[in-house]
Amino acid sequence: MSRNYKFHNQERPYFVTFSVIKWIDVFTRREYKDIVVDSLKYCIENKGLLLYAWVIMSNHVHLIIGTKDKPMQDILRDLKRHTSKTITKAINENTQESRRDWLLWFFEREGKHNSNNEQYQFWQQGSHPIELWSNEVTDQKLDYIHNNPVKAGWVNEPQYYLYSSAIDYADGKGLIDVLVI
C-alpha cells in the first residue's frame, strides 16, 4: 500500500472515499443506502468511530472520520467488509432488483481477480485517506461532501439530501448522529 494511502496521525480527522467497483451505480435504491447508514451507526456505537461528515452518492461514499482508540484502517476495513457482504446479500434477495443477475455476475467476476475476496468484490480497494491538517482543508472537504448532491442535480440545497450530514450543519437532525466540527 502506498504511503499516501495510510492513516499516519490517528489524532486528526481524515477525509476518506470508497467507491463501488467500476463505479457502478448501486445506491439508487434506498435499502442499499440504509445498509451503509446502519453500518456507520454500528461503528460509532461499537468500534469507536467518530463521524464528522458523510454523504452517500450513487456509486461512492465520502466520510470525515476520526477514532477514539481503534485504528481507523481497522474500522474502515470492517465497515467495508460488512457492507460488501450485506449489500450483495440484499441484492441477491431483492426480487424487485432488475439488475440483480448482472450486478452479482459483475461483483463475482471482479472478486475472482482479487485473492482477498471470498466470493464478490463490491468496493474498490483503498479509501484514499487525506489528513485534515488545517481548518481551511477541513472546511474545503466539508463543502465538497455536502455539495456533492447539489452538483449531481439531486437537490437545490445540501441540507435537503437525506443521505448526508449537511442537515446537521444547518441546525437540523440527520439520519446519523455526527460530531459537528
- For CA atoms 127, 131, 136, 142, the dihedral sign is positive
Residue 23: pLDDT band with limits 50, 70, 90: very high
The answer to whether position 149 is within a domain reads no
The answer to whether position 49 is within a domain reads yes
For 119, the domain range is 3-133
Residue 125: pLDDT band with limits 50, 70, 90: confident
CB burial of 25-50 (b: ≥16 within 10 Å; e: otherwise) equals: ebbebeebbebbbebbeebbeebbbb
The answer to whether position 124 is within a domain reads yes
Alpha carbons 24 and 87: distance in angstroms, whole number: 13
pLDDT value at residue 117 = 62
The answer to whether position 127 is within a domain reads yes
Domain count, the chain: 1
Residue whose C-alpha cell is 460530531: 179
Alpha carbons 166 and 112: distance in angstroms, whole number: 38
Q: What is the pLDDT of residues 84-98, one digit of tens each?
A: 999 999 999 999 999
Q: Report the percent of the chain where pLDDT is more than 70.
A: 93
147 pLDDT more than 60 = yes
Mean of pLDDT over the chain: 91
The answer to whether position 97 is within a domain reads yes
Alpha carbons 135 and 181: distance in angstroms, whole number: 9
2 pLDDT more than 60 = no
Which cell goes with 163? 443521505
pLDDT value at residue 3 = 41
pLDDT value at residue 118 = 67
The answer to whether position 145 is within a domain reads no
pLDDT value at residue 50 = 96
**The model scores a pTM over 0.85:** yes
The answer to whether position 15 is within a domain reads yes
Residue 69: pLDDT band with limits 50, 70, 90: confident
Alpha carbons 98 and 160: distance in angstroms, whole number: 28
pLDDT value at residue 151 = 97
The answer to whether position 140 is within a domain reads no
Looking from the CA of 53 toward its CB, the CA atoms found within 13 Å total: 27
pLDDT value at residue 115 = 67
CATH number, domain at 9?
3.30.70.1290
DSSP code of 124? P
